[in-house]
Amino acid sequence: MKQKLFLLLFLFIGMATANASINKNGNLQTDTLKKGKNYILFNKSANIDEVSFSVNKKKESTLVIRYGYPNPGAPTNNINGAIQQSKTQYGEPEAIPVFDKIEIVSGKYENIKVEKENTLRNRFTFTDLQFPLHLKLTSGKETIEFELQEAGYWNMAIMLKKNN
């Protein structure tokens, strides 16, 4: 019985060690949240609902991030539908979130352009990229860390959870 318990403990420690990697700075990095063929999503804060990546390798190296709230669904005739359409559900239009801190872990970008995409989202365009590009973005309490591993025209959508 003790041997089985020891073996299980040994396997558990071995799996936990195998699932961790050491990043370039020597810090322990846990498993990723999402890994694609050419990108890694390391972490995101709890209020970030959805993150999607796509790339067109035939175009110039650019990163376009759409960051904000999802579009409200089609209106319904019930009270719940009316509540979901309210401004407080998605935040005031003038309070669209922006990244107030952009940390470059590796790679680089030369220029950034911020535009209001619509009343719910901002668009950030990073140009003249050097890959792999590993960024940590902060917007108030929200953070996201990711790496793009190859050149191309990247589209990234970061959607916040709806406010309740």
What is the predicted pLDDT for the residue at 127? Answer: 96
Q: What Rg value do the Cα atoms of the chain yield, rounded?
A: 20
Q: pLDDT value at position 71?
A: 82
- Helices (DSSP H) in the chain: which residue ranges? 2-18, 79-84, 87-90
> Which sign does the torsion angle of CA 47, 143, 43, 121 carry?
positive
pLDDT at 163: 65
Each of the 164 residues of the chain gets a pLDDT tens digit; together they read 655 444 444 444 444 444 333 333 333 344 567 888 899 999 999 999 999 999 999 999 999 999 999 887 645 444 444 444 444 344 454 577 889 999 999 999 999 999 999 989 999 999 999 999 999 999 999 999 999 999 999 999 999 997 64
> Dihedral, CA atoms, 107, 113, 115, 117, nearest 10 degrees?
-40
The first and second tokens of residue 105, run together, are 């872990």
Distance CA 131, CA 147 (A): 9
Confidence (pLDDT) at 121: 93
How do the domains of the chain map onto residue ranges?
33-160
Strand, helix or coil for residue 83: helix
- The secondary structure of 25-63 as a DSSP string is TS-EE---SEE-SSEEEEEE-TTEEEEEEEEETTS-SEE
Indicate whether this model's pTM tops 0.95: no
